[in-house]
Structure 1
Amino acid sequence: MSAAELDLVTLERLRPVADAAQVSVLLGAGASAAAGLPDWNSLATKLLQLSGTIDDEETARAFLAGQDPSLAAEAAKAAADDWLELVREALYPPSLGEAEPAALHLAVASLAAGRLVGEVGLFTLNFDLLIEWALQDALDEVGSDAGVHARDTEDDRAPRDAFEVHHLHGYLGQDPVDTGEIVLTLSDFTKLSAQSSPWQRAELQSALSRGPLLLAGTSYRDSDIRQWLHELNLATRPDKGFILLARESFGLSRHQFDLVKDALVAQWASIGVSAVLVQDYSDAAQAIRELSALNDVDYLAPKVRAGALWDGIQGDFEQLQREHSDQLARDLTRLRPVLGDDANMTLWLADGAGHIVRWSSHDRLYRGAEQLRTVPVGHDSPWIAGQCLGRSEILARNLSEAMSTRRWQSVVAAPCVADLPGGPPLPTAVLSSAATSPLENQDLDAWHQVLTELAEEWAGRLSTLAE
């Protein structure tokens, strides 16, 4: 599924979270992996390389294949002159640029900013401060002057009027000024697990006493998390533990994911956690966004909202084909100073049934639905438009030889997040443009900027059509 496919059956599994006056959310590595930061294995691989322990990536990955990454991190630490700076370099490579919050950070920030300080407990296993940045922006957007505090030790507490983000494994920001204590190596985990009453477990216990705990972007991999969840006795506390499990985090195909769904649900149920399965991290993020609206009397699930928009557009096929094609042609004139005269513009729409449809192009009119190309949605879709909707972020790609034509060599796609009746804003369309030369020959920043502006305008048009 994509965010536009989430149905009421799936979201009803999160009903106890939506009904609770207070709730806590714990974000794992998947949240930040979606922002371009390395996952656990990739971080350990990079640490081995940067420390000089193992020179090449292939050997480092083979070395990690049969052992715990936290043990491999011990080898990197032993060879490091400045351990924290080495970790920072591995976590934030120069190619990343300035890290920006991804869909899960933004969704959790929106949930917290919509409530009073203390009503949403915020926990993370990640070293980065992306959730803090997302929350500060969300608070600014709603006009709140509440502060945001990153906590990494027992005594490091936030002021009463500030949101507190509990970094269970410490924090290490991209800026050297943001340096705390981190838990990364096997000895770090062993030391933490040996504590009779670590502040992390006490804080999770306190959070559960106030309401349910929702995990997202995480797995059952970290030894301390396994221990803490066991000690929290979730199996004896119905409707207290929930996890959003995204297929994206497992690297499985749709078919493989279908085969292991029952095992995943049973695995988490054994420790008292209800698993809600989705396809992409952005689906999990949209599910979190839906929590605030789930009890509204006029609420409609994303699948219904997206499907209603698609049905309405099909119902006025001929007129909207002309209007939208003409508008795309006008839009393209704003991109031509960046891309030159030889470029295209296409609008893709979610159908609410797991696909995205090439609805309109600047240079042609489609006479009937049978002429429209339909492609799958998801982070691993073979089509960039499908990936864009599945990840809900702007994407730029050079087209592979298999996908490119002799004419088009690169493409940028931007999601359109429409405000449809019955729920919060929803990514329901993609605006894409292609050029005849590779990305390396383009002013990519300018291309991104113009296409993002155009995508926002199309989101407004689609919102108006849905009224």
Structure 2
Amino acid sequence: MSAPDLTPAIMAQFAASGADKHLTLLLGAGASVASGLPDWNELAVRLLLRSGAVRDRRLAELLVREQDPLLVAEAAKQSLGSEWEASVRQALYGNFQGPGPSTLHFAIARHCLDEQPGKTTLITLNFDTLLEQAVRLLSTRLRGRAGEFAAQAESGHEHGVKALPQRQARVHHLHGVVGPTGTKNLILALSDYNEVLSAGMPWQQVLLIQSLRRGALILVGTSYRDPDVRKWFHHVMRDHPRNHSAIVLLVRESFRLGRDEFDEILPALASQWRAIGLEPVITSDFSDAVQIVQELAHIHRPGYLSPQERARLIWDAHTARFNEYQDSYARRLESEAHDLCHMLHGTNVRTSLWIADGNGYLVRWAVSDRIYRSPDVLTSVPTGQESSVLAGRALSAEAPLWEEPTAHSGHQWGCSLAIPVWTQIRELPPAVTAVHVIDFLAPIGQMRAALEINALGINGLETGWGDRLSHVVSTHPA
């Protein structure tokens, strides 16, 4: 899946969820894995090895896989004694000099900053403070000075549900906070969970109940394995307004399964979540979750169009004037190839532009060394992580991807670079609806180094294509 595959039906689920009244976003470990932090199993393995209870990594992984991870963490906690909290910090961050927020953290922070104060509640099951960092960084960038919109990490009964001053954003840490220099209210080992589960009405449960009563509750990147979370949601889902939904974003990427395998388990997976009252929304990549978060502030506005509808507008505008845009784009790509060849001191270059058709395919619209005379001869490929074509994978990843040919590919070029192209229709969120591909005759190592030196020029090309594609819609009659 990619942004052009986010259909009106998918976005309608969020529009009908109660998010217009109030939105609560609950993050699981998947959000921080993208920043380089370990998932739950890897964290347990690191703690087990650090405690010395098991010295062989393979055996530690076996224990975590076959035994209750909470029991494994408890064994590590007892072995480490007074070094427990410091060991958790080391296991979580390793040698990182402060991991940076992921694109999902920034998307959530941007939503919080753009909305009216008090309309968004931020909750996380993660120990890190990456979400707070994202709020602070974006606030500084958008407003030109730090502190105008403060981010505050909270974990504990006394902080559970109190109101904050208007310009502060609190991030509620349901399982505690592990910062670079300190730890607070950590819930990680079996004994920690038992303490929480024995409490009559913990502040975490109160917060979740209040959140769903106020509006929509969206879970992102959580496996729902934590026993306390299961108990809390058992009470949360008992009594809440019917027009307020609890939605869970299921990302295929986190299951580490191929498309066919995931499709096979999908009915069972969806029915499991519906059985406990949560409505599943299925996406392929965490980039899809990022796009959905970016859409949330717009879905209730008049004239809203889903990412798929916006992609189709761009595609239809091009096919309606096929010959005109085919000729002009081929000439533009040819000029770019010439300029890149000069910039790279004579290295042969070919450039091409691929455009999403809004029906699950990416189409090679124009190439620098040829002109097509009919849409029927254009090459189209499915998008997604498993796409056989580099451009299809880059559209899904929403990040530049390199590729060098294999011995059996028959590819005449030394390497290729696919760069996503962001477009924006009206005042709706930007979305990746096209990919610019550059083929180089030289090997990948040489081209990577050369483009790092000339990064500004390459970025200018992508911005130009994004503006050009977006402008086509504004000049094409509906």
* TM-score strictly above 0.5: yes
Assess, with a 3 A threshold, how the Cα gap between structure 1 residues 7 and 75 changes in structure 2: closer, same or farther: same
Structure 2 residue identity aligned to 1:308: L
Q: What's the counterpart of residue 176 of structure 2?
A: 170
Q: What's the counterpart of residue 203 of structure 1?
A: 207
1:423 pairs with 2:440: no
Range with greater deviation from structure 2 (243-252 or 429-438): 429-438
Q: Tell me, in whole angstroms, the C-alpha distance in 2 between the residues paired with 1:228 and 1:237.
A: 17
Map 1:131-210; keep pairs closer than 5 Å.
Answer: 131-140=131-140, 142-143=142-143, 145-155=148-158, 159-160=164-165, 161-173=167-179, 176-177=180-181, 179-210=183-214
Return the offset for 1:163.
0.7
Structure 1 residue identity aligned to 2:330: S
2:385 to 362, 372, 379: 379
CA contact (8 A) 2:417 2:438 kept: yes
Q: Tell me, in whole angstroms, the C-alpha distance in 2 between the residues paired with 1:336 and 1:301.
A: 41
Task: State TM-score, norm by structure 2.
Answer: 0.85
Cα deviations across residues 319-375 of structure 1 (Å, max 9, x unaligned)?
323332333344453586469724443322211111222223333333433443322
Query: 5+ unaligned residues in a row in structure 2: which ranges?
Result: none
Q: What's the counterpart of residue 413 of structure 2?
A: 407
CA contact (8 A) 1:172 1:178 kept: yes
Q: What's the counterpart of residue 65 of structure 1?
A: 65
Q: What's the counterpart of residue 293 of structure 1?
A: 298
1:257 pairs with 2:262: yes
CA contact (8 A) 2:213 2:240 kept: no
CA contact (8 A) 1:71 1:185 kept: yes
Task: State TM-score, norm by structure 1.
Answer: 0.86
Q: Tell me, in whole angstroms, the C-alpha distance in 1 between the residues paired with 2:409 and 2:189.
A: 43
Query: 5+ unaligned residues in a row in structure 1: which ranges?
Result: none
- CA RMSD, Structure 1 to Structure 2 (Å): 3.2
CA contact (8 A) 1:416 1:456 kept: yes
Q: Tell me, in whole angstroms, the C-alpha distance in 2 between the residues paired with 1:401 and 1:120.
A: 52
Cα deviations across residues 116-154 of structure 1 (Å, max 9, x unaligned)?
222100011122333223333443455392211122233
Identity of aligned residues (%): 35
Cα deviations across residues 251-287 of structure 1 (Å, max 9, x unaligned)?
2333333333332332222222222222222222222
Q: Aligned to 1:101, what secondary structure does the other structure show?
A: coil
1:369 pairs with 2:372: no
Range with greater deviation from structure 2 (276-285 or 251-260): 251-260
Q: What's the counterpart of residue 111 of structure 2?
A: 111
Q: Tell me, in whole angstroms, the C-alpha distance in 2 between the residues paired with 1:365 and 1:385.
A: 19
Q: Tell me, in whole angstroms, the C-alpha distance in 1 between the residues paired with 2:129 and 2:464.
A: 31
Q: What's the counterpart of residue 322 of structure 1?
A: 327
Q: Aligned to 1:219, what secondary structure does the other structure show?
A: coil
CA contact (8 A) 2:340 2:349 kept: no
Q: Aligned to 1:269, what secondary structure does the other structure show?
A: helix
Return the offset for 1:85.
4.6
Q: Aligned to 1:139, what secondary structure does the other structure show?
A: helix
CA contact (8 A) 2:309 2:358 kept: yes
Q: Aligned to 1:275, what secondary structure does the other structure show?
A: strand
Q: Aligned to 1:442, what secondary structure does the other structure show?
A: helix
Return the offset for 1:226.
0.7
Range with greater deviation from structure 2 (395-404 or 147-156): 395-404
Range with greater deviation from structure 2 (158-167 or 434-443): 434-443
